[in-house]
Amino acid sequence: MCAARSPLIAVCQVTSTANKEDNFSTCSALIREASAQSAAMVFLPEAFDYIGGSTEETLSLAETLQGGLIERYSDLARECRLWLSLGGFHEKGSDWDNDRRIFNCHLILDDKGNIRSVYRKAHLFDVELKSGVSLKESNFTIPGSELAPPICTPVGKVGLGVCYDLRFPEMSLALSRDGAEVLTYPSAFTVTTGMAHWEVLLRARAIENQCYVVAAAQTGSHNQRRTSYGHAMVVDPWGAVIAQCRDGPGVCYAEINLPYLHRVRQEMPVQNHRRPELYGGAATKTPG
């Protein structure tokens, strides 16, 4: 167990645009508000840095992990003395000069401003909806090639995903079997898919893994082409929604009660009853 008893987390909901300075101003205000409430860790959504109006704009605004924006968030984590989940940073790819593609990168910063974990989104969102929404993340994004091991934080062992990763239970199972107590899915769900699937997927991942699930979210209209569903929330290991943001930018709070989590696992020991020999290699790792 990494955490003290029942630490407080803050889960943010924002409406990013292509204006990186405005986005930072919004996010930093929410982080400082959370610090004033004695939160131990703050979770920001996918694309907290920006949402471009076109592929060209998206690529033109990308940075490296050593760039100015991450440095500013490191300073903020140090100033506020809390941990940050930066849920979807547009990171220049390793061969940027030749292929001009990015990673969708989820970072964890500690309260000293150090990068403690990096996960690059593995499942890319390529979809065309009847509503007219067309998103092909693979056109400009490199898929990550590995999972990040759950990271020990003041709120427990946190397993990292990003948005569309939520739809792949094999990934959450691998993280929970590796010791994750908190699964986090910073997101920018479309309105159509959000209305249909957002809450039920978050609750399913919580129930089947007996983990807290933390989902910071984008909300509202980012530009003429893109709108996000919102409803940032926290789900407990029994599947109950214990915190949720209202419409518009804001922050919700929840306590992470790890003794309760371990009691749920003890009283409903589904992890001990799995039969991996019957359904392949998704659950072959022994519990961490």
Assess whether 285 carries a catalytic annotation: no
Which entry of 12, 121, 211, 252 is annotated as an active-site residue?
A: 121
Residue 169: count of CB within 10 angstroms of its CB: 14
Which contacts qualify for 231-236: CB closer than 8 Å, 24 or more apart? Answer: 231/13, 231/194, 231/198, 231/199, 232/11, 232/12, 232/13, 232/45, 233/11, 233/199, 233/202, 234/9, 234/11, 235/202, 235/203, 235/205, 235/206, 236/206, 236/212, 236/260, 236/261
Residues pairing with 151 in the sheet: 158
Residues pairing with 153 in the sheet: 156
Assess whether 163 carries a catalytic annotation: yes
Q: How far is CA 262 from the centre of its chain?
A: 23
Which entry of 12, 46, 105, 211 is annotated as an active-site residue?
A: 46
Assess whether 121 carries a catalytic annotation: yes
Which entry of 27, 80, 163, 211 is annotated as an active-site residue?
A: 163
Tokens coding 39:
């939160």
**Alpha carbons 94 and 118: distance in angstroms, whole number:** 14
- Give the catalytic positions in this structure: 46, 121, 163
